[in-house]
Amino acid sequence: AQSVSQHNHHVILSEAASLELGCNYSYGGTVNLFWYVQYPGQHLQLLLKYFSGDPLVKGIKGFEAEFIKSKFSFNLRKPSVQWSDTAEYFCAVLNSGGYQKVTFGIGTKLQVIP
Amino acid sequence: DVKVTQSSRYLVKRTGEKVFLECVQDMDHENMFWYRQDPGLGLRLIYFSYDVKMKEKGDIPEGYSVSREKKERFSLILESASTNQTSMYLCASSPHLGQGKYEQYFGPGTRLTVT
């Protein structure tokens, strides 16, 4: 079965620090990759997604992610975090074949200290 | 703006009760999903539906059933609620993958407590 691993479950950073959250997936076929974010008290919302083309994708609020097929990875990055980035971040994978089922990682809680 | 609405934000039920969680989306999406979200476990797929009256089991379907009689509405049913079903339940919808702009849109969640 398809699985998604997020390496860091809880990350604490000071404002202006750089962020990298790891995500690895197990599916070997064609995949579509997502990062979702859940701010405190809010809905899950899409941060960015990769379907094809340039493996470096840019999302909202200065986030970006790089798809490295050989490493089955899709790590999320931001050069300088802000207090408002405090949230839980979920990596997700959709395999293109068969039923359109999305598998989520367990999430990473990011706390940014002013 | 896509809206996915869920019938209740908070729900408290007793063990053994039959529980209905309702979800409605207004974007004419083909796909609808039910997840539960638990600390340390992320989002786990319970059931999804890719068309009216069509459903597929997700990763944790035991103890749940679903109904999709209309395209915009997807219901999750707990036939006999148990305490281990205390959780946050999230509904989501999406277009079919082939339509280009695929992403899942989530509702606000229903926090269910079973006592």
pLDDT tens digits for A17-56?
999 999 999 877 778 899 999 999 899 999 999 988 899 9
Q: Which residues of A touch B104 (CB under 8 A)?
A: 34, 36, 44, 46, 102
**What integer is the mean pLDDT of B47-58?**
92
Half-sphere exposure (CA, 13 Å, Cβ side) for A66?
Answer: 8
Give the residue numbers in A contacting B (CB under 8 Å), as ranges: 1, 6, 9, 32, 34, 36, 43-46, 49, 51, 90, 94, 96, 99-107
Q: Which residues of A touch B23 (CB under 8 A)?
A: none
* Contact state of A32 with B97 under an 8 Å Cβ cutoff: yes
B82 vs chain A: nearest CA distance in angstroms?
23
Q: Which residues of A touch B90 (CB under 8 A)?
A: 44
Provide the pairing of β-strand B87-94 with B105-106.
antiparallel
Percent of chain B scoring above 90 in pLDDT: 83
Query: Rounded to 5 degrees, what angle do the CA atoms B97, B99, B100 make?
Result: 85
Residue keyed to tokens 């999302």 = A59
Residue keyed to tokens 């809880």 = A10
Predicted confidence (pLDDT) at residue A102 exceeds the cutoff of 70: yes
* Helix, strand, coil percent content, chain B, rounded in steps of 5: 5, 55, 40
**What integer is the mean pLDDT of B45-58?**
92
